[in-house]
């Protein structure tokens, strides 16, 4: 599933486009929206983007400036400009930035639909090309330098990297990670590997990961005993400056892991689950303990049938983890726990962010897998549950409070009163005001 973001400083345009895309059965898109470049950039820093439909003229930072920022995080994102202006300077600058299309708002919805279809086709072509190249490379095994692998294994077994670098055996090994700068590691577990192809698939997962990892993050990797993939990562100074809060890089990393998981499932027919460590700077002595903890966290969930997991060790809950330990939990119990977590998160955050990305982070799932998991487990669409809770909340507030309708809209997660009205009328057949008057 591709993700489309619509950006315009006119909410009525954004909400109208969101509704039209959701109602068009030709598209299967995860749609997000923003009413300013600042809001769009905040989303881009935490959520992978495939297609951007964006106004050019906006306050503070215009669309032309925004696409430069978007391209930094998601260079494969296709760009479509939507504007009310046809000045040559805008057209020229848009062409110079190699955007996919430049559409006047007066042209109507069909050219926008067509532009998004073309963008999806280009994404498919690029994906197919990458997969063809990957299939060729799958015929060969990538041989990691023996000494580097050996040294990294010792680091993850708790030996000091400083001491190892001083040993004659490893003094010429080029490990590009600085121990005095922020760093973290990932572990990856691949499910559904069989027989003689297992090593090939593990190395293919490594190459897919490398393809999506931006050059702003330095990486060293090793295949650990028991076929556990390990990446030691260090974000560059510029990337760290863009995420002043330490956890921002971890959230950004989740978006990259989502891309890797989706491609591995599509290309290799395997499920890859990940674990993310804490910052290692000044805590390198914890690396072995963190590795063992993350491995157990991922292994316990996979053993109970969960796939495409992304476990952030900083987001784990001791009570929750005790539930999974030692094989004491049964699959039905585990499913009930996860569904309860999902629904409680939605109930608690109904006025805020209940996107797939936010919910997935709460339960350690890939966002795309989360949607499928919920449907397979409950028989209902997750979006239907969210919309039902929003509607129930709105009805309760209208019947039991004197809050204004725009205040009710905000409390059930609508930042636009007109969008709330459209949603309510579609569900109930009458407007919110008509419903309130009838009571």
Q: How far is CA 221 from CA 185, 202, 373, in A?
A: 9, 12, 30
**Residue 422: predicted pLDDT:** 92
| Beta pairing partners, 217 | 235
**Residue 199: predicted pLDDT:** 58
Residue written as tokens 């489309």?
4
As a whole number of angstroms, the distance between CA 307 and CA 289 comes to 24
**Residue 142: predicted pLDDT:** 35
Domains in the chain, CATH or no CATH each = 2-137 (3.40.50.2300), 146-316 (3.30.70), 330-439 (1.10.10.60)
Tokens read off for 173: 């090994």
Contacts of residue 31, Cβ cutoff 8 Å, sequence gap at least 6: 3, 4, 5, 6, 18, 21, 22
In the chain (439 residues long), the average pLDDT of successive 10-residue segments reads 94 94 92 94 94 90 88 92 69 66 87 94 91 64 62 90 87 86 95 57 91 95 87 94 84 94 90 94 93 90 87 81 62 84 93 92 90 91 93 92 91 90 92 86
**Residue 1: predicted pLDDT:** 87
Decide the pairing of beta strands 228-235 and 217-224: antiparallel
Q: How far is CA 264 from CA 66, 124, 150, 204, 338, in A?
A: 30, 15, 27, 9, 24
**Residue 141: predicted pLDDT:** 36
As a whole number of angstroms, the distance between CA 35 and CA 43 comes to 11
Residue 326: DSSP 8-state? G
As a whole number of angstroms, the distance between CA 400 and CA 7 comes to 35
**Residue 85: predicted pLDDT:** 66
DSSP string, 116-139: HHHHHHHHHHHHHHHHHHHHHHTT
**Residue 331: predicted pLDDT:** 74
**Residue 327: predicted pLDDT:** 54
Q: What are phi and psi of 412, to 5 degrees?
A: -110, 20
Strand, helix or coil at 105? helix
Exposed/middle/buried for 58, CB within 10 Å: 0-12, 13-18, 19+? buried
Quote the Cα angle for 338-267-302, to 5°: 30
């Amino acid at each position: 599933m591709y993700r489309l973001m619509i950006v315009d400083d006119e909410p009525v345009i954004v909400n109208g486009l969101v509704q039209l895309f959701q109602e068009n059965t030709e598209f299967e898109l995860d749609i997000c929206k923003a009413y300013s470049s600042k809001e769009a950039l905040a989303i881009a820093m935490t959520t992978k983007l495939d297609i951007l439909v964006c106004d050019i003229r906006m306050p503070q930072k215009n669309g032309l400036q925004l696409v430069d920022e978007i391209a930094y995080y998601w260079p494969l994102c296709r760009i479509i400009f939507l504007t009310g202006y046809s000045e040559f300077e805008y057209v020229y600058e848009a062409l110079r930035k190699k955007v996919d299309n430049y559409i006047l708002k007066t042209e109507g919805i069909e050219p926008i639909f067509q532009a998004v279809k073309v963008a999806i086709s280009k994404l498919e072509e690029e994906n197919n090309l990458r997969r063809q190249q990957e299939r060729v490379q799958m015929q060969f095994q990538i041989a990691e330098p023996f000494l580097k692998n050996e040294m990294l294994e010792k680091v993850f077994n708790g030996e000091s990297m400083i001491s190892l670098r001083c040993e004659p055996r490893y003094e010429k090994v080029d490990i590009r990670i600085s121990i005095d700068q922020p760093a973290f590691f990932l572990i990856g577990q691949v499910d559904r590997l069989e027989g003689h192809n297992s090593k090939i698939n593990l190395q293919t997962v490594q190459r897919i990961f490398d393809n999506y990892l931006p050059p702003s993050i330095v990486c060293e990797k090793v295949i650990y005993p028991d076929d556990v993939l390990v990446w030691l990562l260090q974000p560059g100074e510029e990337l760290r400056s863009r995420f002043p809060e330490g956890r921002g890089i971890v959230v950004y990393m989740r978006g990259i892991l989502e891309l890797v998981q989706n491609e591995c499932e599509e290309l290799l027919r395997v499920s890859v689950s990940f674990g993310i460590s804490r910052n290692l700077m000044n805590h390198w002595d914890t690396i072995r303990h963190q590795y063992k903890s993350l491995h157990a966290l991922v292994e316990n969930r996979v053993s109970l049938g969960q796939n495409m997991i992304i476990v952030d060790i900083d987001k784990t809950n001791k009570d929750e983890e005790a539930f999974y330990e030692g094989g004491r939990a049964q699959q039905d119990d585990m499913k009930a726990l996860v569904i309860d977590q999902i629904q409680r998160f939605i109930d608690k955050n109904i006025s805020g962010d209940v996107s797939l990305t936010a919910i997935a982070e709460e339960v350690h799932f890939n966002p795309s897998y989360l949607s499928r998991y919920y449907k397979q487990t409950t028989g209902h669409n997750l979006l239907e549950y969210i919309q039902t809770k929003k509607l129930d909340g709105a009805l309760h507030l209208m019947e039991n409070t004197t809050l204004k309708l725009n205040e009710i809209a905000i409390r059930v997660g609508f930042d636009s009163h007109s969008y709330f009205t459209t949603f309510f009328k579609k569900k109930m057949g009458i407007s919110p005001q008509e419903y309130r008057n009838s009571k």
